[in-house]
Amino acid sequence: MTSGKKNKGTEKMNKSEVTADNNKAVLSIRLPKKYEEEISRFPPEEQEKLRKRYFEMLYDIGEAIGMVAAHSISEPATQTTLRAYHAEGRVQLVTTKGLPRLIEIFDARKVPSTPSMTIYLDEEHNNKEAARKIAAEIRETNLEQIMKEDSLNLMEMKVEIVLDENKLAEINMTAEEVARILKKNLRNVDVKVEDKNKISLESKKGEVNLRDLQTIRIKARTIHIKGIKGITQVIVEKDEDDWIIRTLGTNLKKVLTMDGVDPRRTKSNHIFEVMKVLGVEAARNLIVEETLKTLREQGVDTDERHVMLIADIMTFSGVVKPIGRYGIAGEKASVLAKANFEETIKHLTNAAAKGEVDDLKSIFANVIVGNLPPIGTGMFRLGLKEDGE
């Protein structure tokens, strides 16, 4: 090869023309609308240049797009500290962050370690009071959380529960309602409202000893009175113009149908739940969003296109699949690529039993065999005509 000095100007022009022409002739990749609009704001003489630039910016055919995407996520993961600490001195939910969260997303865990929702409210309820009210509705409340005290009345052999008035008002319930719920959940127990805020529990069994009474008392404490099961924390916050409710614990299905909740903006970080409730496409978008959020929090600048590709390969089959050995990497068509990753022997013996054929379409399989992998310049046949000009 001669030195790489070429006439810069002519080379660049030719390239762009070729790309643009090919594009017109073979394909119908058009300038996306958002760019058309953006370009239209420039003076006319610049517009043509920018339009051409779009076609110059297209991916090269054969680009190892997956490899680049994988590196774009994992390189910063090794370089930066990716801490799991939360921001100092602010009231907020402690959710999984940094590298652990990233791994959780790519592993497609059935249950994330800190499931959380961000609930937006419709116009009518978009104020502090309504938000508080809805938050109280959502939050899982046990008897224990709304009572002042519970005691054993040994004289009459019954459990006496004193409810906290304020807390009762907070969740908008009366002692009678609470008693009704208790009745439903406690078998063989007589529930009576004694006073305004006092409830007594009596066993229907004849002989009652202390131990039975204690069991009733402990069981009563954990009875779910109000709210959605699994939602352990709620925080009402103002986010720019909106009042939002952040929760720890999720139940999208129930929350989305609640009065006052804006179902279009309300989010959950639970990928599997979102897939079940809203479909794979929503799950795919959530993977993109959550991954980008996690990276941005750590100050990592990675283009969203790489994240999209990872989300797409996790979801393009119709269900969310993890990245690792039980997911995409373990379900490849190529025997050699699978054997190279993990569980070498298992993949080889299975392949032999099934009489599988590795047709060497995979990159790793070609590297193993010593062929030129069919990617990048390996997708084309190219040679030097040594005896030519």
Cβ distance to other proteins smaller for residue 54 or 243: 54
Question: CB neighbours of 53 closer than 8 A, spacing ≥ 6?
Answer: 16
- Asked if 361 and 332 count as a contact pair (C-beta separation under 8 A), the reply is no
Whole-number minimum distance, CB 239 to other proteins, in Å? 16
Cβ distance to other proteins smaller for residue 275 or 363: 363
> What distance in Å separates the CA atoms of residue 222 and residue 143, rounded to the nearest whole number?
6
Whole-number minimum distance, CB 151 to other proteins, in Å? 23
- Asked if 272 and 110 count as a contact pair (C-beta separation under 8 A), the reply is yes
Whole-number minimum distance, CB 134 to other proteins, in Å? 14
Cβ distance to other proteins smaller for residue 155 or 345: 345
Going from the C-alpha of 173 to that of each of 45, 136, 165, 243, 310, the distances in angstroms are 69, 11, 10, 24, 47
Cβ distance to other proteins smaller for residue 11 or 190: 11
Whole-number minimum distance, CB 110 to other proteins, in Å? 18
Whole-number minimum distance, CB 192 to other proteins, in Å? 33
Whole-number minimum distance, CB 83 to other proteins, in Å? 8
Cβ distance to other proteins smaller for residue 21 or 303: 303
For residue 119, which amino acid is it? Answer: I
Going from the C-alpha of 362 to that of each of 260, 329, 341, 369, 373, the distances in angstroms are 52, 12, 13, 11, 8
Whole-number minimum distance, CB 387 to other proteins, in Å? 9
Cβ distance to other proteins smaller for residue 260 or 376: 376
HSE of 209, CA atoms in CB hemisphere, 13 A: 1
Sheet harboring 189-193: ordered strands across? 147-153, 158-163, 198-203, 189-193
> What distance in Å separates the CA atoms of residue 362 and residue 146, rounded to the nearest whole number?
61
HSE of 205, CA atoms in CB hemisphere, 13 A: 10
Cβ distance to other proteins smaller for residue 289 or 356: 356
